[in-house]
Amino acid sequence: MISFISRLGLIGTAALAIGAQNASAQTPAPPDQVRIGYQKSSTLTAILKTNGDLEKALAPLGVKVSWHEFTSGLPLLEAINTGNVDFGADVADTVPLFAQAAGAKLAYIAEESASPSAQAILVAGDSPIKSIADLKGKKVAVTKGAGSHFLLLAALAKAGLSFKDITPAYLTPADGRAAFIGGNVDAWVAWDPFLTSAARQSKARVLADGSNGLASYKRYYLSSAAFADRRADVLNVIFRKLDETGRWVKAKPQDAASVLAGLWGIDATTVEEANSHRSYKVGAVTAPGLSEQQRIADAFFAEGLLPVKVNADDAKIWTPKPE
């Protein structure tokens, strides 16, 4: 089977390797297990994996949890599409659209409400680049298909530029950071916690973030459509625990930062600042709430980065059951 990452021309570096490793051989989950894929920046899932609260909550259903880490959202959704992961937590708003363009059978399970300042375009503190217009002809590091990719598109469009006016360097967050710190790119588009960590350590300057309607930056939790139909009981438990954890992170920012500092290898002060940029407000996905998804899909298609038009409303939306 050719992965949708390959079919859409989204081959990266380590991201594809990790995705292939996790999604190569299709292995159905036992009926008493839910396989959860997550990224390092999947804050709420990382906390649940550490404290064991999800396992405790699922125990009455006789369901165990297995955890699978991915370097970015595209290979994570690829693993869901191929049946190797049941639930993905969490991916940026752009990622489901690329999966949808490739015909992946996914379902939106939950969303984190907008966090426009949690991603930004960075330049070095002493860079002569003072505005988005100054990026013309410059080399910009960005993770292909990530939420930060749309921020870059939107910022360029507002400045009267197209994506063809820059030279993109498609890199994973770790490679992008290395290229930026090493001065091998003129700018880097990143998201938290990588964004705040790099800004603090390298004295980088924020050229633009998603504020003022540029890019809302929602993050989504998804499953396969088949799993959503089959295990609503499991998804209701996961939804409730994500909501509770999001509330805890905002109510106890120092405690949350202390937990995450060890997981991310970032000092607690930086983690707390990064978390302040995220809403962590988990809620149900609605059709009206996907309106920006259509704007994102249209922008990528117009730049030739999506091979087909995508109708965001065609996606399956799962609705949690009230307690």
31: confidence class by pLDDT, cuts 50, 70, 90: confident
Name the strand (E) or helix (H) holding 193: none
Domain assignment present for residue 111? The answer is yes
Rounded Cα distance between 119 and 277, Å, is 9
Domain assignment present for residue 63? The answer is yes
> So what's the pLDDT on residue 313?
87
Rounded Cα distance between 120 and 253, Å, is 22
Q: If you average pLDDT over every residue of the chain, what do you get? A: 90
- Residues contacting 73, CB < 8 A, separation 6+: 39, 88, 91, 92, 95, 145, 146
Q: Are residues 95 and 127 in the same domain?
A: no
Q: Are residues 201 and 77 in the same domain?
A: no
Closest to 71 (Cα-Cα) out of 5, 118, 116: 5
Last residue of a domain, one of 209, 232, 260: 209
- On the question of pLDDT at 79 being above 80, the answer is yes
> So what's the pLDDT on residue 74?
85
Q: Are residues 107 and 10 in the same domain?
A: yes
* Section 28-50 average pLDDT: 90
- Phi/psi for 101 (5° steps) reads -60, -30
Q: Are residues 178 and 164 in the same domain?
A: yes
Q: Considering Cα of 14, then 36, then 2, then 316, what sign does the dihedral take?
A: negative
Q: Considering Cα of 28, then 104, then 312, then 303, what sign does the dihedral take?
A: positive
Structural domain containing residue 193: 116-209
pTM for the whole structure: 0.87
Q: Are residues 101 and 16 in the same domain?
A: yes
Q: Are residues 135 and 193 in the same domain?
A: yes
Q: Are residues 285 and 224 in the same domain?
A: yes
What CATH number corresponds to the domain at position 142?
3.40.190.10
Rounded Cα distance between 58 and 24, Å, is 28
Domain count, the chain: 2
Please write the tens of the pLDDT for every residue from 113-154. 999 999 999 999 999 999 999 999 999 999 988 899 999 999
Rounded Cα distance between 36 and 255, Å, is 24
Q: Are residues 238 and 107 in the same domain?
A: yes
Last residue of a domain, one of 209, 233, 258: 209
Please write the tens of the pLDDT for every residue from 270-319. 999 999 999 999 999 999 999 899 999 999 999 888 989 999 988 899 99
